[in-house]
Amino acid sequence: MEVFLPIAQVSISAIEILLLSGIVGVLSGLFGVGGGFLMTPFLIFLGVPPAYAVANEANNILATSVSGSTTHYLKNTLDYKMGFMIVIGGSIGTLLGIYTFSYFKGIGKIDTVISLAYMYILAIIGTLMLVESLGEIDNSRKNALIKKKLHVHYWIHGLPFRMRFPKSKLYESIFTPIIIGLMVGFIAAIMGIGGAFILVPAMIYIIKMPTKLVPGTSLFVTIFVSVIVTFLHAFNYGSIDLVLVFLLVVGSIIGVQSGQKLGEKINSSGLKALLAILLLAVGIAIAYDTFFVEHVEKEINQITNNELNALSMLVQKFSKEMPIVYSLFSIFFAVGLGIAAAFIRRFISDLRKKHFSKAS
């Protein structure tokens, strides 16, 4: 079923978007990593221009982060004080990232910059994940026990202005989470990803937060960063497409919930190696698409500029005539979907518990 995206000005298959976002959501839930670094390239492969793919995936990440963060809020596994420190850095990083995005967009090179950024990032992440997962598989076969250093100190730990974080039971310089947030915000603004692949390891190994508080706090930070990214992309470039966002959010939320349940039942070491190979393959595909298929893609985009239907006309008019209201609406739209998904999940979980308790 073909759906025309009024803002991105391309036609896509709704079924393909739902399936891909669902699969990426499963991988996100299974491995605890954000799916933005996979879903954005997939959108580009489906014909969505890179600048629009980045903006709409950021809005999708906002919805899934709200959903996951709400779940952690209900479980009381969030460190708000640490989260707000990271958000301060994330806000500054996001503004710098948007400025960089605007510069390359102004000189007509933003699509190439996004593609190259994904090509290198996926190659690096894929290689590191593959080496780590193969090491885990080898160690499990040998039944090897590897001792790791509990306290590794870097230059960042010597920074001044220390603050107590009672929830995490830490005494840390405020600059440590701010610098980490700065990096996450910059990357999120340019690439449309949540930054969990940087934030989660940094919170565990650099900040040394308790593992149980890391996922919820990471999602909490991602909400604020994604809000800023979504608003600035929508207001400055008018690139948020509510039709695409809805399809992405529905598929992603269902996939994430399924992935989390699946992760509780299987050993993911072998699957992590397959995910790493997938990342490397996507990186190679992006390189091929960037350097060899650019002219063909532009022709396809021109051909698929179909006549607008009533919904498309409404979205397009809303975006052009009221950019600030549209930007805020896109944020509340994603947040509303995320909260609804979290409470629906909680409701279904409570029903299952009641059913099993009655059955027993």
Q: Of all residues in the chain, what percent carry a pLDDT higher than 70?
A: 80
DSSP H or E segment with residue 360: none
SS3 at position 1: coil
DSSP H or E segment with residue 2: strand 2-5
Q: Which residue has the higher pLDDT, 175 or 344?
A: 175
- Say yes or no to pLDDT of 112 above 70: yes
- Say yes or no to pLDDT of 53 above 80: yes
Q: Which residue has the higher pLDDT, 126 or 357?
A: 126
Read off the pLDDT of each residue in 291-309 and give the average, rounded to a whole number. 51
pLDDT at residue 147, as a whole number: 52
Most confident of 122-126, 153-157, 243-247, 279-283: 243-247
pLDDT at residue 293, as a whole number: 62
Rounded distance between C-alpha atoms, residue 334 and residue 342, angstroms: 13
Question: What CA–CA distances, in Å, run from 56 to 90, 104, 159, 235, 257?
Answer: 19, 19, 37, 13, 21
Rounded distance between C-alpha atoms, residue 213 and residue 199, angstroms: 13
Residue 9: which region, alpha, beta or left (left: phi > 0; alpha: psi -120 to 50)?
A: left
Q: Is the pTM of this model over 0.85?
A: no
Q: Residue 76 gets which letter from DSSP?
A: T
Tokens of 233: 């992309």
pLDDT at residue 89, as a whole number: 92
Of the listed ranges 6-20, 186-200, 218-232, 316-330, the one predicted with least confidence:
186-200
Q: Which residue has the higher pLDDT, 174 or 301?
A: 174
Tokens of 337: 């979907």
Q: Which residue has the higher pLDDT, 78 or 270?
A: 78
pLDDT at residue 291, as a whole number: 72
At 297, the pLDDT band (50, 70, 90 cuts) reads very low
pLDDT at residue 88, as a whole number: 93
Of the listed ranges 33-47, 145-159, 294-308, 314-328, the one predicted with least confidence:
294-308
- Say yes or no to pLDDT of 75 above 80: no
User: Given the DSSP bridges, would you call strands 2-5 and 162-165 parallel, antiparallel or unpaired?
Assistant: unpaired
Q: Which residues of 64-79 are buried (b: 16+ CB within 10 A; e: fewer)?
A: bbbbbbbbbeeeebbb
Q: Do you know the residue count of the chain? A: 360
DSSP letter string, 308-350: --HHHHHHHHHHHH-HHHHHHHHHHHHHHHHHHHHHHHHHHHH
CB-based burial of residue 283 (10 Å sphere; 0-12 exposed, 13-18 middle, 19+ buried)?
buried
SS3 at position 47: coil
Q: Which residue has the higher pLDDT, 34 or 13?
A: 13
Q: Residue 35 gets which letter from DSSP?
A: S
Give the max Cα distance, the chain: 67
At 295, the pLDDT band (50, 70, 90 cuts) reads very low
pLDDT at residue 280, as a whole number: 81
Mean pLDDT of the chain: 78
End-to-end CA distance of the chain: 45
Read off the pLDDT of each residue in 249-266 and give the average, rounded to a whole number. 74
Residue 171, strand partner residues: 164
pLDDT at residue 296, as a whole number: 46
Q: pLDDT by residue (tens digit) across 126-167? A: 787 778 777 766 776 766 555 545 455 555 666 778 888 888
Q: Which residue has the higher pLDDT, 55 or 197?
A: 55
| Radius of gyration (C-alpha) of the chain in whole angstroms | 21
At 211, the pLDDT band (50, 70, 90 cuts) reads confident
Give the CA-trace dihedral at 192, 65, 34, 249, to 10 degrees: -70
- Say yes or no to pLDDT of 306 above 50: no
Read off the pLDDT of each residue in 276-300 and give the average, rounded to a whole number. 67
Tokens of 210: 């308790």
Rounded distance between C-alpha atoms, residue 266 and residue 29, angstroms: 13
